[in-house]
Structure 1
Amino acid sequence: MSNYKTNIIELHSIRSDSILFLLNVKTILNKKTVFLELEIDSETYDQFKKLVIFDNYSRYRLSLRSKWDPFRNEFLSTITKSNGSIIESYDFKCSEQYVEILNQLNTIQSAKKLSIDQKYKFITICSEVDKKRTKQKRDSQKIPQKRIKHLIQMVIGVVVILVTFFIAFNNIMINVNIFPETTENEKVVKISSEKNMNSVAANTNKGDEVSKTDVVLNEEPIKKVNAEDYFITESEMTYSLPEGYAAITFDDGPSKYTKEIVDILVDQDIKATFFFIGQNAVNYPQYVTYAKQQQMSIGSHSWEHKELSEVSSSEQITDLNKTNEVLSSIIGEPVTLLRPPYGAFNEQLKQNARNQNMKMVMWNRDPEDWRVEDSEEIIEYIRENGKSGSIYLFHETSKTVEVLPKILEYLKQHDIKLVVLQ
């Protein structure tokens, strides 16, 4: 077998025309994304049909290894399903032909080699049309465009009037509405040139679970943050930022990596937004406190990472209240930002969040750091995708910690203003 390091093989689709049984997969060869078509046998195809259900939130990764089961006298391979923070692996029966395909995938070093080498008889490079399908899963979560042109014209008129008014009276604070140049139905984002940075402690008692945990506050002086480092989200849902700006966000904490991530950010003089899970905050309140002391922004990521669009309205309200009570009791101020797990929401969740004066923050750049085997894949994603106007989605993982300094240095080199969301 080749010493070449095998990349992740992500299953994209399965299809059959009664004669051919095909798997469409995505991988990275020589730092380039390549779409491949694998011709498999009918029995292995049936195994995939039983295991795989494609939706907006699940991803499937193929193992490039197989094993022989001497007791059942058959080959087995593995497929891994990822759905947010839930990762499950399944063994399935496969044929000798499928095992041969896995062996071939292990030897491929580049798309060019694949296209000219005849030994890969079960593997072909997909057409450009196939590449467009990968966007469907991510695009399905975007808000459809409705009369955006008319909306922009109206709001620009209001902005011009407001700016003229405030300049004329030379007020201390000037609020400017900026619109991202995007085809998505993005909402207005307001940049505030002045903001009171003093936190007002919430007049609520800590929950029983939190009061039992020793929360240690940092006695060291906290570095002041310029008001210009903050973005004030005006809309009830935000997917991106205006040109020239970007925001770094972290999901699924607090965790054992939170302090290390915060320290890296502080060392680079950069602020980020953390979306914490309520249960994790109960276990690691000191890391929530530490992030807040370093002027990071704190938002809710639900109580236990449950898909909120799949539960009743009353369960949504309970989840939001429970999480907000824990987080606000730790940081001493209300929590106003919500990132729903998996990016899944419905109208009742939007209304329940609105009733609690919360705004949803989504994302438009996802390096999928929770699934990579090599941290360099994360920085490669950052280099290959757009930077200006981005809201980056990261997770608190060892791979992210490893490559975070490189990411921050790279973005700073490209004159991108990294801001924290509020």
Structure 2
Amino acid sequence: MSDSYGKVIELLAIERDSEVFGLRIKLSFTESAELIWITDTDTIENIAAVSEFNGIHKYRLSLQTVWDVNQQQYMGLITRTYRDHSDRFQFACSVSFRNELESIKNARRLDDLHTLPFLSAYRSEPDEPIAVPTEEGTDARRFGRKRHRLPLKLVSATMMSLIFVLLLSSFNYSDPSGIPPRQATTATVEVETVIQLLAENRHAIMAKPVTSLEEETEKQPEDHDLPSDTVPYLELDEFISFSIPKGYVALTFDDGPSKHSVDIMNILQKYGVGGTFFFVGTNVKKHPDYVQAIHANGFSIGSHSMTHSQMSSLSYKQQEMELTRVAELIENITHEKLVLFRPPYGAFDGQTEALSRHQGNKMVLWNRDPEDWLTRDEDKILDYVQHIEASGSIILLHESQAVVDALPRIIQHLQDQSLKIVRLQ
């Protein structure tokens, strides 16, 4: 599961300290804290252009950014809500903002944030309006507070020392990658374990019946099995893909295999559409039979790394391990070369590109993200899909019950627009 699951960044105001501007945010996951986020002026101006802190609306920053191929620019996403109504806006953001966002996503506890130099604790001051400069030279009036840079928490030196010692004692210093000792298992041993699990499940996995929206009916799997050579597909021409040609749409499912994999597969089969699954190696080791079933039924499988690590934060050798270990696991189940790769969090660097090219991979990103991992609400997921230009999109979804419940209506909506729903290869 992604470290970003459950994290929410609420944007409260834009702050000023002398000539320095920052974002006042409320970060919530295991706990909540109000923080000041000092980032680049251009990104703050772009955020100010799509927000107005009038005490009526609430704003939430997405934890994801996407690469806009046309503008050659990273784009952030902000959601504005008022009661039950919400609107989503994109804003151009810098590479530094994107990297800072990734650092926040990877924090496991609030206490981890004291290591991030761009964050400081917020202390309230008397309210006063501030003016954020815009590109046109006019002032965008935003309601905020003057800020003072403070440490996140004033903790005694003794307590910090004890915590530091306890943390140090929990790590294995013989492994410079920072990957827990269990993950040092060789690829050969992992593959042998997976083969053994498959051998113990020779009866294979039986497809579960798919129910309609109106009523539940008993169906045998063969009633809607779709031969593998008839599953609609689209061949990707580019090494890195954020979108596909107009008239097509790709439904992609991250972080499996899981208990939801077969339900998703059955729904795709029922409607005669394609789907692409990006599997994490640690989950492949747990559910090799699901991988086998999805491949046998003609759906596309890609790599989502071995441990769902942020690739751009790893060394060359660590990235190589993340790619090769999961590839060996999946290839020993499917007996086909693994081609597709999606970097976790959409984060990659030059080393990731070089390794992917060397292994003959195609990197698949996305241009539509309903943030289903955050809402866990089937109606909100469907509402997002119904209000986008879906033609030519790669839609990012995750394996969850909410996605299973929303998927039939998502497919029906896309088919009503005469779009061809394809698997990628």
Provide the TM-score with structure 2 as the length reference: 0.57
TM superposition shift of 1:310: 1.6
- Paired with 2:190 and 2:121, the residues of 1 have a C-alpha distance of 52
The answer for the alignment partner of 2:216 in structure 1 is: none
The answer for the alignment partner of 1:223 in structure 2 is: 226
- Paired with 2:23 and 2:424, the residues of 1 have a C-alpha distance of 44
TM superposition shift of 1:331: 1.4
Q: Output aligned runs, 1:59-208, within 5 Å.
A: 82-83=105-106, 207-208=191-192
Q: Output aligned runs, 1:311-322, within 5 Å.
A: 311-322=314-325
| Structure 1 residues 308 and 376: alpha-carbon distance in aligned structure 2, compared to 1, 3 A threshold | same
TM superposition shift of 1:389: 0.3
TM superposition shift of 1:16: 2.1
The answer for the alignment partner of 2:153 in structure 1 is: none
| Structure 1 residues 94 and 345: alpha-carbon distance in aligned structure 2, compared to 1, 3 A threshold | closer
2:195 to 211, 215, 219: 211
Larger radius of gyration: 1
| Structure 1 residues 9 and 226: alpha-carbon distance in aligned structure 2, compared to 1, 3 A threshold | same
The answer for the alignment partner of 2:86 in structure 1 is: 32
Partners of 1:218 and 1:293 within 8 A in 2: no
| Structure 1 residues 385 and 16: alpha-carbon distance in aligned structure 2, compared to 1, 3 A threshold | same
TM superposition shift of 1:302: 0.3
The answer for the alignment partner of 1:194 in structure 2 is: none
The answer for the alignment partner of 2:147 in structure 1 is: none
| Structure 1 residues 344 and 88: alpha-carbon distance in aligned structure 2, compared to 1, 3 A threshold | same
- Paired with 1:210 and 1:314, the residues of 2 have a C-alpha distance of 24
Partners of 1:257 and 1:398 within 8 A in 2: yes
DSSP-derived class of the 2:262 partner: helix
The answer for the alignment partner of 1:286 in structure 2 is: 289
The answer for the alignment partner of 1:11 in structure 2 is: 10
The answer for the alignment partner of 1:307 in structure 2 is: 310
TM superposition shift of 1:418: 0.6
TM superposition shift of 1:378: 1.0
- Paired with 1:237 and 1:374, the residues of 2 have a C-alpha distance of 30
The answer for the alignment partner of 1:374 in structure 2 is: 377
- Paired with 1:350 and 1:21, the residues of 2 have a C-alpha distance of 33
Are 2:367 and 1:364 aligned?
Answer: yes
TM superposition shift of 1:17: 2.3
**Greater CA drift, 311-320 or 378-387:** 311-320
- Paired with 1:31 and 1:369, the residues of 2 have a C-alpha distance of 17
DSSP-derived class of the 2:372 partner: coil
Q: Deviations over 1:173-229 (max 9, x none)?
A: xxxxxxxxxxxxxxxxxxxxxxxxxxxxxxx99822213313443588753245681
- Paired with 1:248 and 1:297, the residues of 2 have a C-alpha distance of 11
Partners of 2:231 and 2:272 within 8 A in 1: no
| Structure 1 residues 334 and 34: alpha-carbon distance in aligned structure 2, compared to 1, 3 A threshold | closer
The answer for the alignment partner of 1:346 in structure 2 is: 349
Q: Which structure 2 residue ranges, 5 or more long, are not aligned?
A: 1-6, 25-52, 54-58, 61-79, 90-95, 114-119, 141-187, 207-220
- Paired with 2:239 and 2:307, the residues of 1 have a C-alpha distance of 22
- Paired with 2:314 and 2:330, the residues of 1 have a C-alpha distance of 22
DSSP-derived class of the 1:271 partner: coil
Opposite residue 17 of structure 1, the aligned amino acid is: R
Q: Deviations over 1:105-162 (max 9, x none)?
A: xxxxxxxxxxxxxxxx999xx999999xxxxxxxxxxxxxxxxxxxxxxxxxxxxxxx
Partners of 1:247 and 1:392 within 8 A in 2: yes
Opposite residue 28 of structure 1, the aligned amino acid is: T
- Paired with 1:409 and 1:374, the residues of 2 have a C-alpha distance of 18
- Paired with 2:360 and 2:23, the residues of 1 have a C-alpha distance of 49
2:271 to 252, 268, 271: 268
In percent, how many aligned pairs have the same letter?
Answer: 32
DSSP-derived class of the 1:263 partner: helix
The answer for the alignment partner of 1:118 in structure 2 is: none
Are 2:397 and 1:389 aligned?
Answer: no
| Structure 1 residues 57 and 375: alpha-carbon distance in aligned structure 2, compared to 1, 3 A threshold | farther
| Structure 1 residues 224 and 356: alpha-carbon distance in aligned structure 2, compared to 1, 3 A threshold | same
Partners of 1:10 and 1:59 within 8 A in 2: no
TM superposition shift of 1:234: 2.2
TM superposition shift of 1:10: 4.1
| Structure 1 residues 230 and 21: alpha-carbon distance in aligned structure 2, compared to 1, 3 A threshold | closer
The answer for the alignment partner of 2:64 in structure 1 is: none
- Paired with 1:320 and 1:21, the residues of 2 have a C-alpha distance of 37
Partners of 1:343 and 1:362 within 8 A in 2: yes
Superposed CA RMSD in Å reads 3.8
Opposite residue 15 of structure 1, the aligned amino acid is: I
- Paired with 1:32 and 1:271, the residues of 2 have a C-alpha distance of 30
Tell me how many residue pairs correspond in the alignment: 281
DSSP-derived class of the 1:289 partner: helix
TM superposition shift of 1:318: 1.8
- Paired with 2:110 and 2:134, the residues of 1 have a C-alpha distance of 30
TM superposition shift of 1:336: 0.6
TM superposition shift of 1:366: 0.6
- Paired with 1:321 and 1:309, the residues of 2 have a C-alpha distance of 16
- Paired with 2:318 and 2:270, the residues of 1 have a C-alpha distance of 40
- Paired with 1:374 and 1:122, the residues of 2 have a C-alpha distance of 38
TM superposition shift of 1:14: 5.3
| Structure 1 residues 329 and 33: alpha-carbon distance in aligned structure 2, compared to 1, 3 A threshold | same
| Structure 1 residues 239 and 375: alpha-carbon distance in aligned structure 2, compared to 1, 3 A threshold | same
Provide the TM-score with structure 1 as the length reference: 0.58
Opposite residue 407 of structure 1, the aligned amino acid is: I
